[in-house]
Structure 1
């Protein structure tokens, strides 16, 4: 769905801050499944945590991403997702070598342009929900950089600029893509 926009990339690269800014600008936003799962599992003493049971975590993230996508159909305008189904499926495929990515990703499309936050060590910080280090975050980023293009997505790397400038960059890119698409029809 062309109005469902994924913001993905490196952990600690500024995705959540950027989504908060887009939300302040009146856009619908969907919080990252992984953070919600970690909070819930920590509160309930669960094991579906990336540092305890990665596969259970990845399966939960895929389920939540599908639920988020279905719920977002009721929203109007651009809907910005902090990660999405491709991220969860790419992680599960990395863990298990099960070819889940292509089939799921083709059945549940997002906007063709996916915005990725690159590794940005200067702003990277651990917190209770992000316990892995920069090296793991960079490996994750590399996997995502490789996962999206074969699925027909155009990857746009976000510049390392202020959150406001990043939001402007995304809004401008989406507006230009919409105008370009309209003029072709």
Structure 2
């Protein structure tokens, strides 16, 4: 019997736009979700006294984030019977990060990003000044957050994805918007 291929949806955007809150609520409501790798890597590097931090070694941080995102993609896409899975950022977010930091994107990374495709509809959350906060892992200024949003959006468009901006609103409203768009496709 052939296994169903899951629909792998990305929820992305600049820092502090509400992605993690949205994904946590999707998870609580029974959806399968994959956590963001960047935050996990930052916490791990701090704990290990490592250099793979965005404020120490941006290139190493990007490599760690990319490798972890690829591993998560492969594990989830192979080992699930779920029809729909939501990712807190995708593999291309690393490509967008490198562009934000003006670091050349290795050809191998570009090739892998093209090969490991998600659903063509990518959900993106815009910068939202009223909810933006810095914390131990998020040190960008609001201007940097807006620039990151723009680079990530451009990156997904360059790779042929249909980028759907999620309107500002309550978490419940945002979930209804996402699920409505999924039901349309």
TM-score of the pair, normalised by structure 1: 0.91
Matches within 5 A, 1:67-106: 67-73=71-77, 74-75=79-80, 76-94=82-100, 95-98=102-105, 100=107, 102-106=110-114
Where 2:20 maps in the other structure, the secondary structure is helix
Tell me the CA shift for residue 96 of structure 1: 2.2
Matched, 1:56 2:60: yes
| Offset, 1:89 | 2.0
Paired residue for 2:134, among 107, 126, 140?
Answer: 126
How far apart in 2 are the matches of 1:104 and 1:140?
22
Q: How many residues align?
A: 177
Is 1:6 paired with 2:10? yes
Query: 1:17-32 to 2 correspondence within 5 Å?
Result: 17-32=21-36
Q: How does 1:160-175 map to 2 (within 5 A)?
A: 160-175=168-183
Structure 2: state its 5+ residue gaps: none
Note the residue ranges of structure 1 that are not aligned, 5 or more in a row. 178-185
TM-score by length of 2: 0.91
Distance in 2, matches of 1:55 and 1:18, equals: 28
| Alignment RMSD (CA, Å) | 1.4
Match 1:136 to one of 133, 138, 144: 144
Matched, 1:40 2:21: no
Contact 1:118 1:157 in 2 (8 A): yes
Moved over 6 A (4+): none
Distance 1:125 1:175, change over 3 A: same
Q: CA deviation at 1:104?
A: 2.4
